[in-house]
Amino acid sequence: MLLHVPQVLTAAQVAEFRQQLAEADWTDGRATVGAQGAAVKRNRQLPASSAVSQRLAALVLTALARHELYFSAALPLRTVAPLFNRYEGGEHYGLHVDGAVRSGGEGQPAIRTDLSATLFLSEPDEYDGGNLVVVDTYGSHEVKLPAGDLVLYPASSLHGVEPVTRGARIGSFFWIQSLVRDDARRGQLFELDQTIQRLRAKLGETDESLSLTNHYHNLLRMWAET
């Protein structure tokens, strides 16, 4: 499931992020990937250990915890601390696959990467190129979203970033281990939850919405891994 999650950050938050990132020390993005990724990756990142990266990552996680659509779609169990990247001057990231497991940090369990997320921090008209390309069974999909919006997609997908030919593309990216490992089951739960929310908004709480809610939680109970 490829999902646009709008307004994860407010315009004021985006401005704050951009100000802090403008003064940050960027390093070669190839330092955080294996041999396959390094062969096709040309961008810059903030070191995860930097104070700016850690401070902004915490703000992203706080914003995500409040976003109902994100929670409904991802059903997050564990999340890798968000990282930050920058593309300009032809920088790009060729098609690649993310590692299936990532370190959860010192003293934390490893995280299975069920979902990948990109949070856009540059407005689309600030740069040319730089589309996120996600490949699935329906073909290639190009994504370029307003600043503050996020795209969520299966980490099993081949994906990449097209060359940025004007301006700078700045964003945050991270991975999620979901309560529900299987993407198809997670998608079914998302559609069921969204249907329940629409019914409640239209009709209020009814016997039918209560019954569907019961089915939702029974399916989640059956499929969830903790």
pTM: 0.95
Q: Mind listing the pLDDT tens digit for each residue in 103-115?
A: 877 778 899 999 9
| pLDDT surpassing 90 at residue 191 | yes
The 8-class DSSP code of residue 105 comes to: -
CA distances from 41 to 45, 93, 114, 183 (A): 11, 4, 22, 27
pLDDT of res. 35:
77
pLDDT of res. 125:
98
How much is the average pLDDT of 86-105? 92
CA torsion, points 182, 183, 189, 191, in degrees to nearest 10? -160
Place of tokens 């700016």: 52
The 8-class DSSP code of residue 165 comes to: E
How much is the average pLDDT of 135-160? 96
Going along the chain, which residue ranges are E strands?
3-5, 27-28, 41-42, 44-45, 76-79, 83-88, 92-96, 101-102, 111-112, 115-120, 128-129, 132-136, 139-143, 150-154, 158-161, 164-166, 168-178
Residue of 216, 215, 210 whose CA lies nearest to 189: 216
For residue 139, list its beta bridge partners.
136
Q: At 93, list the tokens.
A: 């990231």
CA torsion, points 187, 81, 131, 12, in degrees to nearest 10? 100
pLDDT of res. 15:
98
| pLDDT surpassing 80 at residue 186 | yes
1: Cα within 13 Å, side-chain hemisphere: 21
Q: Mind listing the pLDDT tens digit for each residue in 22-44?
A: 999 999 998 777 777 788 999 99
Cα distance between residue 80 and residue 63, in whole Å: 15
Q: At 78, list the tokens.
A: 């564990």
| pLDDT surpassing 90 at residue 87 | yes
